[in-house]
């Protein structure tokens, strides 16, 4: 084998050795490399999430009271509203209605079967009889609901019903987050929980020095697709 030619036959590679006319056994190491003609894209996912069952609960409390020694009777009314939509008419309740009866009435009237609970307790601060405090908890809400109470036809000297107080508010996603490049620990600017795909792309490229082809975004909770309940980029 002589010269500087190279030939391949099947899985056999023959390489010419310049200046050698006498065949000699040799071991030669070849390093072969090439450049791909297409880019290989990598997909990475950033997502936010929360405990939806705990976050989507909202509790309101209200109660009745009258002058000391008075017995409350008659009826009171609750009017409900969601965002800008008000339900057709107030819902009337007997002054001593149980928690179970109130829950059933609300579920049917507001079409919220299985999505709220009601509790009734004594009011230690009220010295009248048949005075109660109710707690209404919405179990699957984004906090858009509100309601008011009207003493309507309560009977008893000084009988009133208190305005509903929101004692537990929903705790949905809010605020911002940052992205960290694990190779150099560079940190991006704060990104809002509802940041757009273009916002995230700009932050990764400008702050972390990583080229990004495209960033897509979507809200992840399909039953109520808002960024406050989870988002993915």
Q: How many CA atoms lie within 13 A of 196 on its CB side?
A: 3
Spatial contact of 62 and 68, defined as CB atoms under 8 Å apart: no
Residue pair 64/95 in contact (Cβ under 8 Å)? The answer is yes
34 vs 149: CA distance, rounded Å? 77
- C-alpha distances (whole Å) from 80 to each of 39, 144, 170, 172, 215 are 57, 11, 17, 22, 41
Residue 50, φ and ψ in degrees, nearest 5: -160, 170
C-alpha pair distances (Å), 223 with each of 52, 106, 117, 220, 226: 12, 22, 21, 9, 9
User: In tens digits, what is the pLDDT along the chain, a chain of 233 residues?
Assistant: 444 567 777 767 666 666 656 666 666 666 666 666 666 778 899 999 999 989 999 999 999 999 999 999 999 999 998 776 666 689 999 999 999 999 999 999 988 899 999 999 998 899 999 999 999 999 988 888 888 999 989 999 999 999 999 999 999 999 999 999 988 999 999 999 999 999 999 999 999 999 999 999 999 999 889 999 999 99
Q: How far apart are CA 137 and CA 134, in angstroms?
A: 10
**pLDDT tens per residue, range 102-153:** 999 999 998 889 999 999 999 889 999 999 999 999 998 888 888 899 998 9
Find where tokens 């908890």 sit: 137
d(CA 126, CA 119): 18
66 CB neighbour count, 10 Å cutoff: 23
Taking a C-beta distance cutoff of 8 angstroms, is the pair 141, 126 a contact?
A: no
- Please, which residues have CB within 8 angstroms of residue 221's CB and are 6 or more apart in sequence? 52, 229, 230
CA distance linking residue 114 with residue 83, whole number of Å: 21
CB 68 within 8 A of CB 53: no
Please tell me the pTM assigned to this model. 0.72
Distance CA 180, CA 182 (A): 6
As a residue count, the chain comes to: 233
């Amino acid at each position: 084998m002589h010269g500087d030619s190279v030939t391949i036959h099947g899985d056999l590679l023959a390489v010419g050795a310049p200046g050698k006319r006498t065949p000699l056994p040799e071991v030669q190491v070849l390093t072969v490399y090439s450049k791909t003609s297409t880019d290989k894209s990598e997909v990475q996912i950033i997502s936010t999430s929360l405990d939806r069952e705990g976050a989507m609960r909202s509790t309101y409390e209200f109660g009745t009271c009258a002058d000391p020694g008075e017995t409350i009777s008659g009826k009171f009314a609750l009017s409900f509203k969601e965002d800008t939509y008000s339900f057709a008419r107030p819902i009337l309740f007997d002054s001593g209605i149980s928690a179970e009866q109130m829950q059933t009435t609300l579920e049917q009237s507001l079409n919220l079967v299985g999505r709220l609970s009601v509790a009734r307790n004594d009011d230690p601060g009220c010295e009248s009889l048949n005075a109660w405090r109710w707690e209404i908890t919405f179990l699957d809400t984004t906090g858009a609901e509100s309601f008011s109470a009207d003493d309507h036809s309560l009977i008893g000297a000084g009988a009133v019903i208190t305005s509903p107080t929101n004692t537990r508010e929903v705790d949905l996603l809010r605020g911002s987050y940052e992205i960290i490049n694990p190779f150099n620990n560079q940190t991006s600017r704060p990104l809002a929980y509802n940041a757009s795909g273009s916002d995230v792309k700009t932050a990764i490229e400008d702050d972390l020095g990583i080229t990004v082809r495209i960033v897509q975004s979507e809200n992840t909770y399909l039953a109520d697709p808002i960024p406050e309940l989870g988002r993915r980029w």
